[in-house]
């Protein structure tokens, strides 16, 4: 046994060298996810509900299926993803094209591109909550100066609150998009554009025929990253509206946080987390299949 270890074959050596990484992954990925799924089959109410710590089978999953709050939060999460991911892509593309212009000094542009990305999410939420405040907010101040009458109560009506949150998320995330796209843009050889110009292609045609196809790999990477983080949206709605008014801007991540941390219902919270995990798996798989192929 030891003799073999002293002089291992290539296969054994490979396994030995991989073992630490496997152990680490098992500890920080497989164990927590396994424990989460295990917990989701139990009634684990820490607040001392009558029959806590009991195996309940799929009862939690049946409750999730019937839970209006879950479907509301799922709808909000998907809507936020559907609005902010393309939104950030369009704005980010604009920013990237702007930053790619031949400025004499590049760093001020790059810095201003980086700043929103470097800002912590919760700060961003708090700052925009002030922007959209009915009385003290800069948004309503500008609108008043432009002559609009009754001030809009942005964060107090479901639709406006949703709009405000999406605008904030797009502002916050488009700089990340722009960074990835900018890197892609700089890899497109100038000679392609020069050749196109000789052939008489307009700027518009150059954009659609050269820039977009050459940029596709970067776009796909950016979209996948952004979609996964969009499905996990928590900080910005939490700090801006706390999910209000009512539960109209509550996302899945917020519902899970509320159930586990505030209600101390670990079993049901785990079930919700498993459902969210499944949802993001489906979306990511769909992405990889559809967009990944076309790229």
Q: Which residues bind other proteins (CB under 8 A)?
A: 45-49, 133-135, 153, 155-158, 242-248, 258, 261-264
Rounded to a whole number of angstroms, the minimum distance from the CB of residue 136 to other proteins is: 9
Other Cβ atoms less than 10 A from the Cβ of 152: the count is 17
Exposed e or buried b per residue across 89-117, where buried means at least 16 C-beta atoms within 10 angstroms of its C-beta: bebbbebbeebbeeeeeeeebeeebeebe
C-alpha 293: how far from its chain's center? Answer: 22
Rounded to a whole number of angstroms, the minimum distance from the CB of residue 56 to other proteins is: 16
Are the C-beta atoms of residues 230 and 85 closer than 8 Å to each other? yes
- Closest to other proteins by CB, 96 or 266: 266
- Closest to other proteins by CB, 206 or 248: 248
Rounded to a whole number of angstroms, the minimum distance from the CB of residue 264 to other proteins is: 6
Rounded to a whole number of angstroms, the minimum distance from the CB of residue 123 to other proteins is: 16
Rounded to a whole number of angstroms, the minimum distance from the CB of residue 50 to other proteins is: 10
- Closest to other proteins by CB, 120 or 217: 120
- Closest to other proteins by CB, 189 or 246: 246
Residue 154 DSSP code: G
- Closest to other proteins by CB, 110 or 133: 133
- Closest to other proteins by CB, 45 or 226: 45
Residue labelled with tokens 């820039």: 211
The candidate with the shortest Cα–Cα distance to 157, out of 243, 245, 265, 73, is 245
Rounded to a whole number of angstroms, the minimum distance from the CB of residue 69 to other proteins is: 9
- Closest to other proteins by CB, 31 or 286: 31
- Which token pair is 254? 């917020």
Give residues with Cβ within 8 angstroms of 164, minimum separation 6.
128, 132, 154, 155, 240
DSSP output for 176-192: HHHHHHHHHHHTS-HHH
Rounded to a whole number of angstroms, the minimum distance from the CB of residue 60 to other proteins is: 15
| 251 SS3 class | coil
Are the C-beta atoms of residues 92 and 266 closer than 8 Å to each other? no
Rounded to a whole number of angstroms, the minimum distance from the CB of residue 134 to other proteins is: 4
**Ramachandran angles phi, psi of 54, nearest 5°:** -130, 140
Other Cβ atoms less than 10 A from the Cβ of 180: the count is 19
- Closest to other proteins by CB, 156 or 282: 156
User: Rounded distance, CA 225 to CA 214, Å?
Assistant: 19
């Amino acid at each position: 046994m030891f003799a073999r270890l002293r002089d291992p074959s290539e296969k054994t050596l490979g396994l030995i060298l991989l073992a630490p990484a496997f152990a680490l992954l098992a500890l920080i990925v497989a164990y927590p996810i396994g424990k989460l799924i295990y917990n989701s089959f139990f009634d684990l109410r820490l607040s001392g509900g009558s029959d806590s710590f009991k195996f309940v089978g799929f009862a939690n999953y049946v409750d999730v299926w019937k839970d209006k709050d879950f479907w509301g939060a799922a709808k909000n999460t998907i809507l936020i993803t559907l609005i902010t991911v393309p939104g950030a892509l369009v704005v980010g593309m604009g920013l990237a094209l702007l930053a790619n212009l031949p400025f004499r000094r590049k760093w001020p542009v790059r810095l201003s591109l980086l700043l929103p990305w470097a800002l912590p999410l919760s700060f961003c939420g708090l700052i925009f909550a002030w922007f959209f405040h009915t009385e003290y907010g800069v948004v309503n101040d500008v609108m008043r100066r432009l002559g609009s009458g009754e001030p809009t109560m942005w964060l107090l009506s479901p639709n406006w609150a949703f709009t405000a949150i999406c605008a904030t998320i797009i502002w916050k995330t488009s700089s990340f998009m722009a960074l990835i796209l900018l890197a892609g843009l700089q890899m497109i050889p100038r000679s392609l554009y020069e050749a196109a110009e000789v052939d008489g292609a307009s700027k518009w045609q150059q954009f659609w025929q050269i820039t977009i196809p050459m940029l596709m790999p970067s776009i796909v990477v950016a979209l996948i990253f952004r979609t996964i983080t969009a499905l996990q949206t928590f900080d910005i709605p939490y700090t801006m509206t706390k999910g209000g008014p009512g539960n109209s801007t509550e996302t899945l991540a917020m519902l899970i946080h509320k159930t586990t941390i505030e209600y101390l219902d670990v079993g049901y919270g785990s079930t919700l987390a498993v459902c969210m995990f499944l949802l993001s798996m489906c979306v990511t798989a769909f992405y990889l299949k559809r967009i990944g192929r076309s790229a």
